[in-house]
Amino acid sequence: MISKQFIGGFEELEQYRQEVLDGILDFRIGHGWDYTYHERIAKQLPFIYEEFARNLYTRRAVIDVRDVPKDTEKGNDSPACLQHIQFFVRDGKMHMKVLMRSNDAAEATFMNAFAFICLLKKVAKKVGVKVGTYSHRANSFHCYEKDFRLLEGYVANIEKGGDLTYRFKGFFEDMMKEARPAVKQKVEQVRANIGL
């Protein structure tokens, strides 16, 4: 689950996981942020669980993250990149497909995929099935000029072959757990800085 090419650290990854799954920065909505992925996903999860309870093999377990009125509002310069999530159960396993309208290949993709895979695991556990596959599609998979060398390094490492991932269980997971107090402190500082 962890790419060796990930440029962040344990604390950044743990913070982002908590942002997407737990909404630790939802308080920023209206204070510099228009939305969070958590806020848009969490309000639709009850439907997802109800849908799987109705029919385990449903094709309707879809979360649309795009909020058309907000994301197309004049002056909105940060519409959601994540557009669509669909969950499927096939052969006793939960599969998840994600569609991004835009995805920063060099800096964002690894964190996005990790957090969304954690969401997949959460939904599978709640529904009571095993975890299946994760598919990540970006209609605009891009790299900013400042990150060209970084991306070239990724490509060179991939071309070399070999093991490009760390196992999450064990060391990496333990380090992320140890980062939780620092993440909590950082979030409380952000809250204090905006006067909440």
Catalytic residue positions, numbered: 81
Q: At what angle do helices 109-127 and 45-54 cross, to 10 degrees?
A: 40
What are the backbone angles phi and psi of residue 37, rounded to the nearest 5°?
-60, -40
DSSP SS3 for 36: coil
How many CB atoms are closer than 10 A to CB 188?
12
Query: What is the helix (H) or strand (E) element at residue 182, kind and residue range?
Result: helix 180-193
Contact 176, 18 (CB under 8 A): no
Rounded Cα distance, 92 and 41, in Å: 24
Q: Which two tokens stand for residue 28?
A: 């920023």
For residue 115, what are the contacts with CB-CB under 8 A and spacing of at least 6? 16, 17, 19, 20, 21, 37
